A and B are shown apart, each in its own frame.
Chain A
């Protein structure tokens, strides 16, 4: 893993920034952090000021400085010469060396009206803090026994140390956000009941939903995991320490990971740390993987074997219904007569079938909306594809005062979810300021 920058390195890196008049990196960042300004502070060696500047747009600096997919670096003007400013590393430096516990400025516009945020993932926490900043009284409801959502169960320790997550959660709590764990909206309290207990608006930041199935034959064999299950067992339930921790994990020595996103890569790199031989299989090319070249290089260095243009056709069972191997097929570009994609299409190469030796398989092929949402939120109108209906260019659902945010509607990287949450917060603020009558009970 990449270590943090030293002071000298940070200043040198910050000095490289051309300080564009029309910064593209700010455009690239979904949170619109004022990147040139905080880099200028770092150039003068003032980490505290830089941290304050970042926190104006993004409170979870410690988390973003490590686990962000850094779209700003892709947007950076120096990326044309393949040497963008390491904005994420600088953000991390600012958090590591700034005054982390400094409280943020709160406005009085919210008048301490109560607002509920459902889900304590990146989007939920961002929204909660933004609402607190606007002067609202915020409660976050979390269904698991630990706050943090995907940050605690999905992102592994090596990408986001739990100490840092703990510090950030502590900071969020210190700002006045109440986090209630073990509370599942739907079964344990309905939307109506939340409104009845005095909340004026609800933000649903429920996350990406349930994992998709790959429909590869043999998906249900012993030793086949969906990436979310594997990561949850290892990160949240600490299955590695079985039987000291009660959750078991059943893995062989050679593991095949199928997928192209962060869950796939996180699983692969966690497995490397568990001492397994890992092969990552993806049916596309190296370019259409959802990861940065830097991360791919790190994975390669750690010993993850990458197999591109390979499709898994079957997971072979042995007599005890465990994984015995993975049947794969090579793909290649072939010229076809179809007009789509300029006539080039990925087609299987004849006779290229081979068997990948493996004892376990981890599948990460994306997410789909949770099917039980329609049952839990009976009052809300649902779309045909299972997502919650919202008006165009708006975050408000069919029920007045209920908003959606984060990855619930469109799955994307962590920072996108946070950006969506901030936009939703703006709408909630507008709604509460205009719609909520003046005589509602305020918290003292």
Chain B
């Protein structure tokens, strides 16, 4: 059993959990993930490692409650335990082909920031110059902003609706960064559409780009083939060959299909995901109140 030492709401609908798992914490390397079960009946879920503290022996993950299993995980409290954590799985990222002191840009959007932060920290440790480009829909759903500010040498934050910092998309800031610095490598973690846009931007300047994929998994050790996705024209398994791939080779259309496999069922059995709880638009009441206050002279 693995004890939950801390649980925190770090952005709108995004929870962070620290789990006691000494072996995994000691061995985790950047770019790897863990498999987790919330309880005996939950699905096996894959989460990228947000933080692994070897001294405390904890592994942290960040997740959104999008389906039945993550919801059960989110309902667990500090002091509860989860029955299973296996990891660290997948191949670690390697930056050997970039010389020290060079600029590396890390692009994260939404929940992807949680995947980008450990990469930034590792790059900083390896004495690269790190450019952080993060974005979210609104201010409320922007996570780990302070940690990113502390880690990166230069940071650019965008929100889609302009509620925080500048208005725009991460691709815009990436273009701007590219005009200022000679970027050698881009590491990206974002929803499929945005990852594809980032890959297009970097392809114009032929900058090598890595993308971390979050496909659906069942066992996480390569036995089932649930996480297969087309990269460079042929199928690969994200859990054993990835989860980091060359962004210019990933077939994004295929990736969209693979990640949306169970969307209908998950929405059907998860009614609150249809409600306004997680949605980025302000609720009816807030909107009405806002209008009401504005209309007052």
Residues of A near any B CB (own CB < 8 A): 143-145, 153, 181-184, 187-189, 207, 209-211, 213, 215, 219-222, 226, 228-229, 232-233, 237-238, 242-248, 250, 321, 370-372, 375
Is residue B283 within 8 Å, beta carbon to beta carbon, of the partner chain? no
A237 & B240 in contact (Cβ 8 Å cutoff):
no
**Out of B23, B72, B219, which one reaches A232, CB within 8 Å?**
B219
Q: Which residue of A184, A228, A375 is within 8 Å of B225 (Cβ)?
A: A228
Closest 8 CB pairs of A and B: A246-B69, A246-B43, A226-B225, A229-B224, A372-B240, A246-B42, A247-B43, A243-B269
Most buried by B among A211, A242, A247, A321: A247
A220–B43 touching, CB < 8 Å = no
**With contacts A187-B27, A222-B260 known, is A237 near B84, CB below 8 A?**
no
Contact with A along B197-225 (1 / 0, CB 8 A): 00000000000000000000011011111
B87 part of interface (Cβ distance < 8 Å) = yes
Q: Does B88 interact with chain A (Cβ within 8 Å)?
A: yes
Q: Interface digits, B19-60 against A, CB 8 Å rule (1 contact, 0 not)?
A: 000011001000010000110011110000000000000000
When the two chains form their complex, are residues A210 and B240 in contact, meaning their CB atoms are under 8 A apart?
yes
Which chain A residue shows the least CB distance to B218? A232
Residues of B bordering A, CB below 8 Å: 23-24, 27, 32, 37-38, 41-44, 67-69, 72, 83-89, 91, 218-219, 221-226, 228-230, 234-235, 237, 240-241, 254, 257-258, 260-262, 264-266, 269
Residues of A within 8 A of B67 (CB): 246, 248
Once bound together, how far apart are the Cα atoms of A222 and B260, in whole Å?
A: 8
**Of A181, A210, A250, which contacts B261 at CB under 8 A?**
A250
User: Quick check: A211 and B240 within 8 Å, CB to CB?
Assistant: no
Closest to A238 in B: B41
Q: From A189, which residue of chain B is reached at the shortest CB distance?
A: B23
6 contacts between A and B (CB under 8 A): A153-B219, A184-B86, A220-B258, A228-B224, A242-B265, A372-B91
Q: Within the assembled complex, what's the spacing in Å between the Cα atoms of A249 and B31? A: 28
Docked pose: A228 CA to B225 CA in angstroms: 7
Q: Which residues of B contact A229 (CB under 8 A)?
A: 218, 224-226
B85–A182 CB distance below 8 A:
yes
Contact of B89 among A182, A187, A207, A238 (CB under 8 A): A187
Shortest CB-to-CB span from A269 to chain B, Å, is: 19
B75 shortest CB reach to chain A, Å? 12
**A248 pairs with B218, CB closer than 8 A:** no
CA distance A182 to B221 in the complex (A): 12
By CB atoms of chain B within 10 A, which of A143, A187, A244 has the most? A187
For B225, what are the chain A residues with a Cβ–Cβ distance below 8 Å?
A: 210-211, 213, 226, 228-229
Answer whether A372 and B222 are a contact pair too, CB < 8 Å, given A188-B86, A242-B265.
Answer: yes
Between B89, B218, B262, B264, the greatest number of chain A beta carbons within 10 A of the residue's beta carbon is seen for: B218
Contact between chains at A210 and B222 (CB < 8 Å)? yes
Q: Is the CB of A188 within 8 A of B27?
A: yes
Inter-chain contact A222/B221, CB cutoff 8 Å? no
Instruction: Enumerate chain B residues within 8 angstroms of A247, measured Cβ to Cβ.
Output: 43-44, 69, 218
Given A187-B89, A248-B262, A250-B265, A143:B221 Cβ within 8 A: yes
Shortest CB-to-CB span from B196 to chain A, Å, is 16
Docked complex Cα distance between A130 and B93 (Å): 41
* Given A187-B27, A246-B69, 20 extra CB contacts under 8 A: A153-B223, A182-B86, A187-B32, A187-B87, A187-B88, A188-B27, A207-B223, A211-B223, A215-B234, A220-B257, A245-B43, A246-B72, A247-B69, A247-B218, A248-B262, A248-B269, A370-B221, A372-B91, A372-B240, A372-B241
Question: B68 near A243 (CB under 8 angstroms)?
Answer: yes
Is A232 in contact with B43, judged by CB distance below 8 angstroms? no
Q: Are B219 and A144 in contact (CB-based, < 8 A)? A: yes
Query: Does B224 contact A226, Cβ atoms closer than 8 Å?
Result: yes
A372 to chain B: which residues have CB within 8 Å? 91, 221-222, 240-241
Query: Residue of A at shortest CB range from B32?
Result: A187
Contact check, A220 vs B86: say whether CB atoms are below 8 A apart: no
